């Protein structure tokens, strides 16, 4: 007996006659619907990437202000009053406090106002995002110029020498996620997109674990030992990589359990069309339009990119939130992968 995921036997009926008959036989209505779905995904890909990247605009970049009491409030007010709200400034008591906020990723820049002259210092952390550091430097330079002051930028959390433009972590995360959803898709191609029983779903989930461990290890080895792009955090990168692979794989399996082969397309929508441009790779969330900015920390792509940056450049401060997001996807994906076959089996039994 054929299952919904097994190919039907070839028809023994008469061959279709005429051009239109052969066309209908060769390109069935279901195939046309799948082609339309692919077209929509393709157009969504173009819309999402161009929409996210075509006009980066800083919005609410956090800036700590260290200034004498008599000008502190005035400086903060002036920065917060810039048209479009590119920065969100707050007064900080000392340079030491501002540097600590930068080194732990609590702020993106710190403006040190010179009380005895007109040359200020802007501390930035390009490790948190080169595009964001450049953007905030431009904004503060222009703002100071309107008050007859100049700014000298000082990068106190610089990029590692092998991490050009700070994109290595982003591409590492994307590689792990791609591996996760591809291995889940491969399992479905080999055994049917919908696991027929909870037991089979558990076996598939179990097969993901050694792959995730190997994938996390391989990615960490390449980024650290082989290329020297992200050095000094091998074990942490291995762990986050394995977790990301599990997350992407279980979510893919859940979509397939719910929607069959169409679930692969939904996976591409979530991880590729929406997840990649919102992840904060080329442009950090503070430079993205509102829609992509809101998605950034809510998807494994953005949470993973943020976690890797904080591991490598900020002493792992602030990674609890991203880890919880990634873990939540992994757990929910696994639960749905097992529960959906159970519920479907009960529904079939009740219908008999």
Report pLDDT digits (tens) over 220-245: 999 999 999 999 999 999 999 999 99
Count of positions (residues) in the chain: 352
Model-level pTM? Answer: 0.88
Residue 309 burial (C-beta neighbours within 10 Å; 0-12, 13-18, 19+): buried
Radius of gyration (C-alpha) of the chain in whole angstroms: 25
The predicted structure's pLDDT at residue 1 = 41
The predicted structure's pLDDT at residue 192 = 59
Which runs of consecutive H residues, i.e. helices, occur in 273-319? 290-296, 300-313
Parts of the chain with a pLDDT under 70: 1-27, 190-196, 352
Distance CA 303, CA 173 (A): 9
Distance CA 242, CA 70 (A): 52
The predicted structure's pLDDT at residue 337 = 92
As beta bridge partners, residue 153 has: 122
Distance CA 112, CA 121 (A): 5
pLDDT tens string 248-307: 999 999 999 899 888 989 999 999 999 999 999 999 999 999 999 999 999 999 999 999
- Three-state DSSP state, 155: strand
pLDDT tens string 309-325: 999 999 999 999 999 99
Domain extents in the chain: 61-155, 163-351
Candidates 3.20.20.70, 3.40.1710.10, 3.40.50.300, 3.40.50.720; CATH matching 61-155: 3.40.1710.10
């Amino acid at each position: 007996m054929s299952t919904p995921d097994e190919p039907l036997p070839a028809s023994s009926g008469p061959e279709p006659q005429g051009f239109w008959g052969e066309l209908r036989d060769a390109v069935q209505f279901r195939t046309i619907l799948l082609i339309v779905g692919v077209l929509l995904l393709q157009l969504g890909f173009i819309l999402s990437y161009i929409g996210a990247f075509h006009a980066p605009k800083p919005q609410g970049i956090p800036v700590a202000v260290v200034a004498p009491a008599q000008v502190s409030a005035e400086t903060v007010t002036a920065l917060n009053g810039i048209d479009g709200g590119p920065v969100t400034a707050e007064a900080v008591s000392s340079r030491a406090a501002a540097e600590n906020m930068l080194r732990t990723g609590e702020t993106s820049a710190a403006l040190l106002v010179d009380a005895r002259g007109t040359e200020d210092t802007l501390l930035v952390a390009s490790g948190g995002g080169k595009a964001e550091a450049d953007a905030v430097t431009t904004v503060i330079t222009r703002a100071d110029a309107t008050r007859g002051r100049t700014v000298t930028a000082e990068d106190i959390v610089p990029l590692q020498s092998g991490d050009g433009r700070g994109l290595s972590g982003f591409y590492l995360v994307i590689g792990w996620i791609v591996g996760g959803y591809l291995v889940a898709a491969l399992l479905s191609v080999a055994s049917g997109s919908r696991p027929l029983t909870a037991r089979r779903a558990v076996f598939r989930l179990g097969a993901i674990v050694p792959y995730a461990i190997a994938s996390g290890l391989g990615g960490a080895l390449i980024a650290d030992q082989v290329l020297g792009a992200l050095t000094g955090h091998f074990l942490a990168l291995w762990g986050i990589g394995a977790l990301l692979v599990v997350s992407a794989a279980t979510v893919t399996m859940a979509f397939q359990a719910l929607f069959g082969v169409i679930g692969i397309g939904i996976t591409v929508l979530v991880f590729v069309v929406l997840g990649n441009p919102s992840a904060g790779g080329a442009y950090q969330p503070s430079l993205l339009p509102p829609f992509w900015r809101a998605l950034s920390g809510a998807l494994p792509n953005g949470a993973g990119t943020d976690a890797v940056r904080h591991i490598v450049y900020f002493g792992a401060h602030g990674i609890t939130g991203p880890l919880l997001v990634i873990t939540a996807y992994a757990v929910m994906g696994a639960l749905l992968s097992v529960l959906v076959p159970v519920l479907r089996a009960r529904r079939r039994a009740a219908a008999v």
